[in-house]
Structure 1
Amino acid sequence: MAPTKERLHSLMHLFIACLLKLSTAAPCLPDQASSLLQLKASFIGDSLPSWQAGTDCCHHWKGVTCDVAFGRVISLDLGEFDLTSSRRLDPALFNLTSLRNLSLAFNDFSGALVPASGFERLTVIIHLNLSCANFGFQIPIGIAYLRNLVTIDLSGTIGRLVSLHGLDMSHNNFTGKIPSQLGNLTRLESMDLSCNSLSGEIPQEFTSLTSLSWLNLSYNNFTGRLPQGNQFLTFPSSSFEGNAGLYGIQLSKQCDNLGPDLTTRSTLAPEPNSLWQDRLDAIIFFLFVGLGFDVGFALSIIFRSFYHIEGWLYKHMY
């Protein structure tokens, strides 16, 4: 019985310590509460009744989590709060510079704009979820500077970027399937998703991208038959190499108009930052998007490259 009593005593001490820690938690800082109230004012109606001036935002405001030591907001989870807005999301949000998690998912912002700048101030953010929120989306360029960002979910939103001409998400750790909504980006002229760990089939909706003149999906884990139709049949095999599970007409023949430099480059795994340099006329947008993807470890498949190297050597040396 003695060990059981000792265990109970230990648990009791731990419980008391937790209570003392909670009782000494720092209150919400005034500037944090003020920024949250400005954000609330940009919403229509009162979907956040617990957010009241004069109360502690760290302990009484729903969706808000603070660090215990300093009273700074570290998580703002407003997903599925029935929030609506017809204006721009208030930039006071970016005063919460200690945010590690931000979710505004599954609300209806009725075309309200996400500020293009300001996200770069959230330097410690790890998770960002703006999915299915009906934003009138413009690319938040500041996201490109978030070095600690691990996951980003813009699903249900990416298809609204109808003016996008260039998309480069190469050399990241993106996993999962390509969302079919990318097929809505009808003005897209160049797309690079190479050197990630994306999997599944390439969406047939990509054949709707009739403005697309340059494509690189190499060195992922794609499987299945390549989409057929429109300009998709014109892309060379180098656009798809490094995906052992892919098959289709594009991989059964070589493009005769490939120059020596392009042929050589297609035999090797692409080096970072080299792909866009070969297309000086491409409009580059650096957009770190998870598109609903979970982060995994990048696994570039290099085994098919040996086949291409061998074929190139045979063609040029014999």
Structure 2
Amino acid sequence: MTINFDRIQGKLNILADAAKYDVSCSSSGSNRKNQGGSLGNLSTSGICHSFTEDGRCVSLLKILFTNHCIYDCSYCTSRRSHDTPRAAFTVEEVVDLTMQFYRRNYIEGLFLSSGIFKSADYTMERLVEVARRLREEERFGGYIHLKTIPLRQAGLYADRLSANIEIPTISGLKLLAPEKTHDQLKAPMQTVKDEIVAFKDSKKHHKKAPKFVPARQTSQMIVGATGETDLQVVSLASHFYQKYDLRRVYYSGYAPVLADKNLPAISTPVPMVRENRLYQADWLMRFYGFLAHEIVTPDEPFWT
């Protein structure tokens, strides 16, 4: 099937732009190889956008399935009360876009997120169906990253899954996204961790057991929207690494793109140096075994 690019261009403009706020699109940790008769190969070098663990650059088609959303989170451009153009792809359109872009050597993989429309399960069924069709029907061997409320099938088709914690503190999330809770957002991380352990165990007994999320899972926090300290951010990231065995956590400095009474009245984005310091702290925890309190202390809660 060939895409009518004139018809779909409007959707692509809206949903590619809406996806730019999600920074957790690293593809490190997966080495899916091309097999006979399939298309795509994560083991070859790419064009741009995302860097693998060994430094290679992999290009990804990064889009939302839809920016319609049942939630009204203050910080999100896709929130239901925001007056913004709305669009939604069909499963067929995302699959066709991915394959057409791959054949033109524009991309080597897909980063697919979405607003929650109707329900989380309804949304995830469509994201999983995109991944299933790419893997089984199109024989696509490239990288796939799904933003997910986990369904077991998602981990069989995706290289990486991610569930964003959004706001680092419980009080901050209650203020800006009262329909969500930290427990609700962390539950998928536990599910994915349990499934990874189960599939690793089955691999010991059955050599042909399928891979499950070979690049593991990630999360993302918005920093600077609710006055949280670096100590609170780093402590939460440390908790994720220890409890859920995350591959990594991403930090996105708050930028004033929306007006809302609950959002901080600042005219400039969070300084880049704060993001840099958090990534430095993150590196110390992931690669050198530092604990959060060894990097940032209650006496000096900001590491700047």
Q: So what's the TM-score if we normalise by structure 2?
A: 0.27
Q: So what's the TM-score if we normalise by structure 1?
A: 0.26
**CA radius of gyration, larger in:** 1
More helix by share: 2
Q: Larger relative contact order (C-alpha < 8 A, sep ≥ 6)?
A: 2
